[in-house]
Structure 1
Amino acid sequence: MTTNEYTIALAGNPNTGKSTLFNLLTGLRQHTGNWPGKTVVHAEGFFTYKDKQYKIIDLPGTYSLYSNSADEEVARDFIIFEKPDVTIVVLDATALERNLNLALQVLEMTNRVIVCVNLMDEAKKKGIRIDIAKLAKKLGVPVVPISARNEEGIDELLDTIDLMIRGAIQTKPIVIPYSRSIEEKIAKLLPLVKEIVGDKYPARWIALRLLDGDTSLLDALKQENHHSFKEVARYASNRSAKSV
């Protein structure tokens, strides 16, 4: 990959207009196939903006990244292991509360996030008003309102991507607080996780997934040559069992 080529991941719930945005940005410069070892469709496209070449991956539409399905595992693994330069989370402006669940999960995984609130035209028709500035302040990342099918807000989105790539935007994603007992377990797991992965992966998020018994993530991490996670996962399992 050249220094002027960057990768964007496009995440979102089904029916948020994510693929409409993907098609708008890439036009005919796209192709599809299957993810390696999966029956899940892999869509990849390209576009150029301000002398920078972008490869954009349209991740499978999911409601979460908890590895309950092949689609969720594909989306999760790409964000964690491929480390896209920017992850755009597409939300439906008419169902914002439901869609924010996925956005919050992504924000636990990476800080290079742009939240894209799509279907603003539909929200307006329904009398729904969204305070974009307040939402951005709460989430700690840029929030861009668009209507992909009407090609509205796309220039602002592209400018925001460019600013993030150039390092002109500093994000501070919201940290979701959990119950006292869970936070205590996270605190005890963090040193073990950090000892193995350092700064390569989001340690807090990994600790949470291990506490939740996410064996799929454990397998993926072991494939990334982190076999020591077997012992950490056993410790996490013991901690969780003692809380029952």
Structure 2
Amino acid sequence: MRNSYRIALAGNPNTGKSTLFNALTGLRQHTGNWAGKTIALAEGTVEHKGKTFQLIDLPGTYSLFSNSIDEEVARNYIVFEKPDVTLVVLDATSLERNFNLALQVLEMTTNVIVCINLIDIAEKQGIKINERILTKRLGVPVIKLSARNKIGFPLLLDTIDRLVTGAIECQPIPTVYQDHIEEEIKKMEPRVSAIIGDRLSARWVSLRLLDGDEKLLQEITKRLGEGRE
């Protein structure tokens, strides 16, 4: 059985994502740049139950479309590099705004843990969050934590461990769009699937193509071309 796994951290700016990364990895981290980009790349490791979790701190973004280099880097890593688990870090005091990114990630990949950070601040503001209801509605584990105070870390690491070992499975609940959009997706999915196979989510790619995401199409064409070489 493998004992090393890649864990990506995604989140909006100022959600405490990098604080979580630093708290988990401590001095076991290094920085550089993403290949061919001037965007900073931070990687680190954390040991848990005989396994090594390699954490990759993705650039902070508000979405995962093709509106900026940061968004492209974060999106491409999740979609094409296929980390074993993606942690989506949300700000407990601003969940509604943060959920946009979380829902995008859930359309792209399966093994996701939603981390609701800054829970200590939210509670002081009288904000109550029921993570069990959110887990049921999203179809993936939802964990409340405070990266600054290291609250919730044992549960987070145990949940990552259970995901990578197959003890639990994620079943993300798909976002349902307006009827005319769903009809277009149904038309496109078989064609997209015939081209990309099971390498990517045909539903997600169909959505992006309907959105006119030409940069993603270029990236897919490039990656498929590399795969034939």
What TM-score, normalized by structure 2, do the two folds share? 0.96
Q: Who is 1:182 aligned against?
A: 181
Q: Who is 2:68 aligned against?
A: 69
SS in 2 for 1:149: coil
What is the CA-CA distance between 1:147 and the residue it aligns to?
0.5
1:24 aligns with 2:23: yes
What is the CA-CA distance between 1:65 and the residue it aligns to?
0.2
What is the CA-CA distance between 1:98 and the residue it aligns to?
0.6
Q: CA 1:226–1:213 in structure 2 vs 1: closer, same or farther (change >3 Å)?
A: farther
What is the CA-CA distance between 1:3 and the residue it aligns to?
2.0
Cα RMSD for the two superposed structures: 1.1
1:176 partner letter: T
Q: Check the 8 A contact 1:9/1:88 in 2, yes or no.
A: yes
Q: Map residues 204-243 of structure 1 onto 2, 5 A cutoff.
A: 204-225=203-224
Which of 4-13 and 28-37 deviates more? 28-37
What TM-score, normalized by structure 1, do the two folds share? 0.91
1:101 partner letter: N
Q: 2: CA distance between counterparts of 1:170 and 1:27?
A: 29
Q: 2: CA distance between counterparts of 1:130 and 1:190?
A: 36
What is the CA-CA distance between 1:40 and the residue it aligns to?
1.0
What is the CA-CA distance between 1:226 and the residue it aligns to?
5.1
Q: Who is 2:137 aligned against?
A: 138
* Deviations, residues 124-148 of structure 1 (Å, cap 9, x unaligned): 1100000110011111100010001
Q: 1: CA distance between counterparts of 2:199 and 2:47?
A: 29
Q: Map residues 190-209 of structure 1 onto 2, 5 A cutoff.
A: 190-209=189-208
Q: Who is 1:11 aligned against?
A: 10
Q: Map residues 97-116 of structure 1 onto 2, 5 A cutoff.
A: 97-116=96-115
Q: Who is 2:83 aligned against?
A: 84
Q: Who is 2:43 aligned against?
A: 44
* Deviations, residues 62-103 of structure 1 (Å, cap 9, x unaligned): 000011000000000000000000000000000011101100
The structure number with the bigger radius of gyration is: 1
1:79 partner letter: I
Q: 2: CA distance between counterparts of 1:186 and 1:134?
A: 29
1:211 partner letter: L
Q: Who is 2:32 aligned against?
A: 33
Q: Who is 1:231 aligned against?
A: none
Q: Check the 8 A contact 1:94/1:128 in 2, yes or no.
A: yes
* Deviations, residues 29-86 of structure 1 (Å, cap 9, x unaligned): 1111111111111111111111011111000000000110000000000000000000
What is the CA-CA distance between 1:112 and the residue it aligns to?
0.2
Q: 2: CA distance between counterparts of 1:45 and 1:96?
A: 27
SS in 2 for 1:91: strand
Q: 2: CA distance between counterparts of 1:63 and 1:190?
A: 26
Q: 2: CA distance between counterparts of 1:225 and 1:110?
A: 18
Runs of 4+ residues deviating >4 angstroms: none
Q: 1: CA distance between counterparts of 2:38 and 2:142?
A: 33
Q: 2: CA distance between counterparts of 1:148 and 1:170?
A: 25
Which of 20-29 and 217-226 deviates more? 217-226
Structure 2 unaligned residues grouped into runs of 5+: none
2:159 partner letter: T
SS in 1 for 2:155: helix
Q: Check the 8 A contact 1:196/1:226 in 2, yes or no.
A: no
2:58 partner letter: L
